[in-house]
Amino acid sequence: MSAGQRRIGMIGIGMMGHGIATNVVKHGHPLAFLEHPGNQPVDALVSAGARGVPTIAALAAEADVVILCVTGSPEVESVLFQAGGLLESMRPGTTIVDCSTAIPSSTLRIAEAVAKAGGRFLDAPMTRTPKEAAEGRLNLLVGGEAALFDECRPLLACFAENIVHAGPVGAGHRMKLLHNYVSLGFSAVLAEAAACAQRADVDPHVFMEVLAKGGGGGVVLERLRPYIEAKQIAAFRFSISNALKDIGYYTTMAGEIGASVTAAEGIRRTLEDAVAAGRGGAAVPELIDLLAAGNALRASA
């Protein structure tokens, strides 16, 4: 069966998953998705030919490849290990592609269990935003056997612009956590600096101009620019609670291998304080105003 004839199942039609699903269908792949209250509106997907199915078992019964795009390791483990989950239900030879952000040690356990059940596994976490997901322009960091990576690459290319084979199983999730630590860590540092600038009555446009032309320039600065200059969050719709989850996964990974987490722990505490203050659902750029409140954030935590 050629790549174009493969039946694709998908679990997790959230902000990122919806874009992935849209592009899978756009490229002619038959798609079934798990019906779930957390899905984004699926009317357009259904109109394009995708079908909702009520259970994981029903999805696994017909899928040759199952793409997971859920929140994190607990959700991935639940999808695989629960009664009626993928391990019980998938057919021999099924390929699982996990696009979630996950703890690598969990990924290795899952991949081993999938192999024992007769399946194949790639970890393929993504970077970029829902905008690029909708455009089919994600970055994918893939861990798994080279032959399986090559086999699945045409499918991955339906929704990804840049695809890197990071190494064996788990390497994709390791690289994703390294990437997110740098990206979200810089976001937290920049938010704290912008908050300080706000309290110091520094003109936000001057602040941005100086950083952009100096050592602070880059992708994260441009994502935060609309909020710093005009309080717009559309360019960085990533919640503080999700940022905390990813930094927590990074410190878990680093701790398991004995790497330093000194700076990471400071960043994690900043995010924890915001979540404890009831602002976990706020977008990362809004951390600027929370920090600009000075001691109010820590006091409320």
Catalytically active residues, by annotation: 176
268 close to 248: Cβ distance less than 8 angstroms: yes
CA angle centred on 90, ends 89 and 96, rounded to 5°: 135
Residue corresponding to tokens 């081993």? 112
Other CB atoms within a 10 A radius of the CB of residue 254 amount to: 17
Nearest alpha carbon to residue 194 among 229, 219, 235, 244:
229
Distance, CA of 28 to CA of 116 (rounded, Å): 31
Kind and range of the H or E run holding 140: strand 138-143
Contact (CB, 8 A) for 163 and 153:
yes
Q: Are 68 and 101 spatial neighbours (Cβ–Cβ below 8 Å)?
A: no
Contact call for residues 267 and 185 (beta carbons, < 8 A): yes
Q: Which residues contact 177 (CB under 8 A, 6 or more apart)?
A: 101, 104, 246, 249, 250, 253
Q: Give the E-state strand segments of the chain in sequence order.
A: 8-11, 31-34, 51-53, 65-68, 95-98, 120-123, 126-127, 138-143, 160-167
Do strands 31-34 and 138-143 pair parallel, antiparallel, or not at all (unpaired)? unpaired
